[in-house]
A and B are shown apart, each in its own frame.
Chain A
């Protein structure tokens, strides 16, 4: 469209500005890759240089030896985030439906209550949470990282999914209802299939939330090495004497790769989905 057209000069300006914006966003990754490719001895002794002759993949081999459980940590991170996502979605779908479609007492009050949960992060409630998890015998198990993760993602999930479900034409449900389908049947067989694109978006957003924030619960509620997630496991590269930074960065990059690949496929839906969710009305 003509209105959107930029002059050549403007275009160059936008590209330059975008370059610096993305440089800020991607700098740590570029630097992590650079570090992961250099031998430790050279990293520490030489002054800072941009390019060096000694790039090698050695760290990507050595890291599995330095931290033998690395593979487990990578798996644990993905497993915990997937479990959190699955449980959260099971809890969120019916609740979001109720808020989108049904009328009931204390509706807006309870929804406000859910949103207020955003005000507490796990960090505020750690002490009693520790006791709750202990009395449920969940400390030092996967559950210690999964259950609190679910609780703090439920409000966001309800909030996001509700706006999708509101967009599904009511007539379809009414038709099913008139045909004699029960409410639960309608939810399962009519609403959920129609809401799949929305469920993917919300599921991805929940997964990102669960994947991004495992560190606190892991370091506080779990001290079993075998089930530690990657961010906590990376600390094992910090030895008594020194930190093998290059292997640590190699491990971090390797660990996030599987999720990044999946995310690449889902990002298109996510951006489109955020549009739908964020600009309601």
Chain B
């Protein structure tokens, strides 16, 4: 292959070029190699390991024993249920809060440029650092939230929010929503600003109320962004590791153990690689099925309403 030497002036007469397709493959090959080595190969290896009893000591082929043990364990199904509940709840809240936030930041009020900057910090800092801040606030002895609840007379005594099962779960949801909201808000805001002003003006001339314009113009117009944020956000929330790990490590008594936490505990903490790999494969399959179902459902809805 003969590419023009770097920096050399192109020579019109002797140009021997790569074909478009060869050039394209040359351009994407670094990215492809990266993904093959760091994602695809480990994925194949995970699938293989899931049929073994691999530990640090060695590995033997055990067939579907890992899966059989997993599927017959009621605790595993609880974890699956909890993970989906966690995902649906956190994603819905992120979308709702993000939509409200974006509408507020989109309002024509003085100071909006500043407000738009102020919404970004949770997104820009390391997730782990924000979560450490929340962990402090949830603390029962001197934490802000317990203190506020007492101040307003909602609770008699100090409450350690991460110590009981239900409150730990919902506390983790709140933190996850906090981490995810800025990005959702900014994408929604960006989408809202892309909506053609003519549409609003036409509706306004017709006397449509603000709420009506929001419902009938803003929402449908930014639907493509809502839909793709929902899917991305769902996948990330399903796989969200740091937030739960730092807050509770999956406790108390498993109340915040999602599939990814369970996988990490089995595979990394107790180094039962084979069993951990089986869990990882289940995650991938569930997410793939979920994504395909979501896209299929979307397709149907779109066709039903005749949208693009």
Hey, which bits of chain A sit against chain B, CB under 8 A? 1, 3-6, 11, 14-15, 17-18, 21-22, 24-29, 31-32, 35, 43-44, 46-49, 77, 90-92, 94-95, 97-99, 102-105, 107, 110, 113-114, 117-121, 123-129, 131-132, 147-148, 150-152, 154-155, 158, 179-185, 208, 211-216, 220, 229-232, 234, 245, 248-249, 252, 255-256, 259-260, 263-264, 267, 271, 274-275, 277-279, 281
Contact = CB atoms under 8 A, between A and B. Distances in A.
Interface string B112-132: 000111111111111111101
5 contacts: A120-B39, A231-B128, A249-B132, A249-B133, A252-B132
B30 interface: yes
A267 B107 CA distance: 19
Contacts of A114: 31, 35
A192 B252 CA distance: 52
Contacts of B27: 94-95, 97-98, 102
A48 B146 CA distance: 8
Contact of B46 (A15, A125, A181): A125
A24 B185 CA distance: 13
B35 A17 contact: no
B51 interface: no
A127 B46 contact: yes
A211 to B, nearest CB: 6
A110 B151 CA distance: 57
A32 to B, nearest CB: 5
A-B pairs with lowest CB-CB distance, top 7:
A48-B147, A279-B194, A28-B133, A231-B128, A151-B38, A128-B45, A128-B42
B136 A27 contact: no
A212 B23 CA distance: 34
B105 A18 contact: yes
A151 B35 contact: yes
A154 B31 contact: yes
Contacts of A220: 268
B142 interface: yes
B40 to A, nearest CB: 9
A22 B109 CA distance: 15
Interface of A is mostly: helix
Interface in B11-43: 11-12, 15, 17-18, 20-21, 23-28, 30-32, 34-35, 37-39, 41-43
Interface of B is mostly: helix
Given A91-B31, A185-B4, A263 B108 contact: no
B85 interface: no
A249 B131 CA distance: 11
Interface stretch (B71-79, B282-290, B296-304): B282-290
Nearest to B174: A24
Interface residues of B, number: 107
Contact of A94 (B30, B35, B37, B97): B30
Contacts of B263: 123-124
Contact of B194 (A26, A107, A275): A275
B42 A129 contact: yes
B12 to A, nearest CB: 4
Contacts of A208: 123-124
Contacts of B287: 119
A273 B61 CA distance: 51
A118 B143 contact: no
Nearest to B101: A21
B143 A123 contact: no
Contacts of A271: 116, 186, 189-190
A192 to B, nearest CB: 13
Contacts of A275: 190-191, 193-194
A24 B179 CA distance: 11
A47 to B, nearest CB: 7
Given A14-B109, A127-B49, A132 B121 contact: no
A211 B129 CA distance: 11
A116 to B, nearest CB: 8
